[in-house]
Amino acid sequence: MKTLMIKTHEAWLEMLMAGFMSKTQNKQVLFDFSDILFRHFTWLENELIALDVTYNYDRDTIPIKVERLSDLLNNIVKRLDVIDLQLLSSPDKELDARIASDIHYMREVLKNMNDEVVTAFSMERVFPGISLTQEATDALTLFLFEETYKEYELIMIYNYLKAHSNDAYMNRIFQILIDESFFHLKSFGDMGAKMGILAVPRVVMKELYQVEDVVQFLKDGIDEELAAKEECKRLAEAVAKDSFELAKFFDFINHQENYHIALMKDALKHFTGEANG
């Protein structure tokens, strides 16, 4: 079961990366499939918790540097084949049937998907349709590398906390933060692919998501969100002279962080109030 969850984690990330690479109607299909695989991942995780099996989010490296999309799609199909075989070890036959059915459909679609030339690894660092100064290009490059990992990290942390919580109030907040981080991850990953600097986020250390002190975690999280706001503000200022569109986008992300901070403050009040009660 642990192996099955790990392989599903890897397939989800690889499918997401394929979505970033695509520049055609394939993109939305690949994003939809990655969302489905993430749901599979969380369902399998819940099975492990129900069986009282210890686990973490470690995974193998995921090589994605290809010249044609079909090369990566073939690799994903092979991963899905492995998952299909691993399903034999799962005790939940209804879940097995659902995942197997999804995988069967995905494989057929991927095998027949139109091929594309991939430019997501060109390292050109040019944003399509926008001429950025070297300073703005460097600032955007660093931001995308750091924030793509950070949003993936937050998804894994909030997902782990949600999976191990029976508090409906906290889980509502965790789910909102997961959804928001997915939007940011997809936005930043897509921008990275357009600039030719796409990369798979590194593995998240288990110490970050296996949280023992939730109160301190929430306090630290609020500080991190405040720092993220400053990063967005600095980046918006760096690109403002070259692109009103990009500047407004990062202002938009900056303002979204305000609600994340408010949610985490609510979670902190709820958690500390519950603990004191």
Closest CA to 202 of 152, 141, 158: 152
Identify which has the larger pLDDT, 272 or 105: 105
Q: How far apart are CA 5 and CA 173, in angstroms?
A: 24
Residue 87: pLDDT band (50, 70, 90) is: confident
Residue 276: pLDDT band (50, 70, 90) is: low
What does each C-alpha distance from 46 to 153, 162, 165 come to in angstroms?
A: 19, 10, 11
Mean pLDDT of 248-253: 92
pLDDT value for 273: 77
Mean pLDDT of 32-44: 97
Looking at 1.10.3470, 1.20.1260, 3.30.70, 1.10.10, the CATH number of the domain 1-118 comes to 1.20.1260
Mean pLDDT of 142-152: 94
Query: Taking a C-beta distance cutoff of 8 angstroms, is the pair 24, 114 a contact?
Result: yes
Percent of the chain with pLDDT strictly greater than 70: 97
pLDDT value for 89: 65
Identify which has the larger pLDDT, 150 or 88: 150
pLDDT value for 230: 87
Mean pLDDT of 204-210: 95
Mean pLDDT of 179-192: 96
Mean pLDDT of 241-256: 90
pTM reported for the whole predicted model? 0.94
CATH no., domain 120-277: 1.20.1260.10
Q: How far apart are CA 16 and CA 142, in angstroms?
A: 21
pLDDT value for 90: 66
pLDDT digits (tens, 9 = 90+) for 98-132: 999 999 999 999 999 999 999 999 999 999 988 99
- Judged against a pLDDT cut of 90, whether residue 138 lies above it is answered with yes
Query: Taking a C-beta distance cutoff of 8 angstroms, is the pair 65, 46 a contact?
Result: no
Average pLDDT, the chain: 92
Residue 235 tokens read as 């980046």
- Judged against a pLDDT cut of 70, whether residue 270 lies above it is answered with yes
Cα 73 off chain centre by: 19
Find tokens 């070890």 and name the residue. 89
What does each C-alpha distance from 29 to 21, 24, 35 come to in angstroms?
A: 12, 10, 10
Closest CA to 232 of 156, 142, 158, 153: 142
pLDDT value for 203: 96
Domain with CATH 1.20.1260.10 in the chain: 120-277
- Judged against a pLDDT cut of 70, whether residue 61 lies above it is answered with yes
Mean pLDDT of 200-205: 96
Mean pLDDT of 48-64: 94
